[in-house]
Structure 1
């Protein structure tokens, strides 16, 4: 049985009510169990760490929306599981563009409007966020590689 399932419900109730100390305590208590679960569920250690960070961020941001206190642990585990699946989907093997037949590009062209909108949205981001997005999602750097490139922490 994980320590997450044994968390005192008064701590969850206090965090749900906005008690910052209770939220901090929940973050600290939840991380080890979530990481163990994520390492079994995700494809890579990096994905596991990313999934746990997503779950902890959701805990911090959305604990107030939790309707059933007893569902706290399963709520967090579901977030990790969904994030692992999402990250696995991002890691599907890709074929280099020079190996794609020209006819394939003609069949599924990226709409010009979508290209323009995405370009405008990326350009509107603050510089650091734009750099992180480009390194992680376009250049496909790992999180540690992107952090090292930018001289920031993971």
Structure 2
């Protein structure tokens, strides 16, 4: 267990914050597998997970000097990954190509579309891990069922079951938020 945490030792992080390139490289190299593993649980696809992990490592490289407490590195990195995965999911819902094509006719329409996309993204985020990943890969990204099942290590029947339960729970969550506009 001690070797697993050596990438994040306070001494190594402080040296990286002070500009020591070898220490910074060691922190980034050591963090990659941890960040990647976390991203795989949050993002819709393996490609999004890798991209989110890379983005988090780039931010770490650029902004490690602004980290206040060396003990907060892991939570800081995981928050960056979570935000990047959410941002990638939101982009899928906003469909900027339709807005550019003139389908959104007013600022009000665009605001409503953004609000709806945020509600859907939040409702998806609240799904259990496997249901969320299946739903995003199948319904948002449009992957065929067999590919989703294969990527997640599920049987086709299990994937379909998770998809059905995820869709039902998503409908329930969204119907609950639409009726609480005044709350």
Where on the TM-score scale, by shorter chain, does this alignment land: which range? 0.5 to 0.7
Shift in alpha-carbon separation, 1:107–1:64, aligned structure 2, 3 A: closer
Equivalent position of 2:24 in the other structure: 23
Equivalent position of 2:62 in the other structure: 61
Q: 1:43 Cα deviation (Å)?
A: 1.1
Q: Answer 1 or 2: which has greater helix percent.
A: 2
Distance in 1, matches of 2:21 and 2:9, equals 16
Q: 1:4 Cα deviation (Å)?
A: 5.2
Distance in 1, matches of 2:31 and 2:90, equals 25
Please give the TM-score of this superposition, normalised by the length of structure 2.
Answer: 0.50
The list of structure 1 runs, each at least 4 consecutive aligned residues, that deviate by more than 4 angstroms after superposition, is 93-97
Equivalent position of 1:49 in the other structure: 50
Aligned residues: 106
Distance in 2, matches of 1:23 and 1:95, equals 37
Deviates more, 1:34-43 or 1:85-94: 85-94
The 8 Å contact of residues 7 and 31 in structure 2, kept in 1 or not, is answered as no
Distance in 2, matches of 1:56 and 1:95, equals 27
Unaligned runs of 5+ in 1: 110-154
The 8 Å contact of residues 47 and 87 in structure 1, kept in 2 or not, is answered as yes
1:85 pairs with 2:86:
yes
Please give the TM-score of this superposition, normalised by the length of structure 1.
Answer: 0.59
Equivalent position of 2:115 in the other structure: none
Shift in alpha-carbon separation, 1:89–1:17, aligned structure 2, 3 A: same
Unaligned runs of 5+ in 2: 109-183
The 8 Å contact of residues 36 and 49 in structure 2, kept in 1 or not, is answered as yes
Distance in 2, matches of 1:27 and 1:73, equals 12
Equivalent position of 2:15 in the other structure: 14
Q: 1:82 Cα deviation (Å)?
A: 0.4
